[in-house]
Amino acid sequence: MSTPLAHRFAYHPPQDPETVWAHERVRDLMGDVAEDLAHILPPGREYALALTKIEEAMFWANAAIARAGA
């Protein structure tokens, strides 16, 4: 049975090369931001939280891509 809740927790494989590219692009962009911040920010709790938020943004961006095609 397909419900909105089931859709949120289902695996959504890439359906075409454009979707694969979009996922890769998001990972590249977020990775670049994380690398830049690693050179700018001092180590500590705030840096760790900033990195976590970048990971969260990457997750949600990729979820948006995956769920849109499914």
| Residue 55 resides in a domain | yes
What is the pLDDT, as a whole number, of residue 12? 87
State the total domains in the chain.
Answer: 1
Residue 51 within a domain: yes
> What does the CA dihedral 14, 15, 20, 26 come to, rounded to 10 degrees?
-70
Is there a domain that residue 8 lies in?
no
Q: What pLDDT score was predicted for residue 65? A: 94
Q: Is residue 2 part of a domain?
A: no
pLDDT at position 41, please? 97
How many CA atoms, within 13 angstroms, populate the side-chain half-sphere of residue 55? Answer: 6
Q: Do residues 38 and 6 lie in contact, with contact meaning Cβ atoms separated by under 8 Å? A: no
Q: Does residue 50 sit within a domain?
A: yes
Domain limits at 41? 14-69
Name the region of 62 (left: φ>0; alpha: ψ -120 to 50; beta: rest).
Answer: alpha
Q: pLDDT tens per residue, the chain (70 residues)?
A: 578 888 888 888 898 999 999 999 999 999 999 999 999 999 999 999 999 999 999 999 999 999 996 6
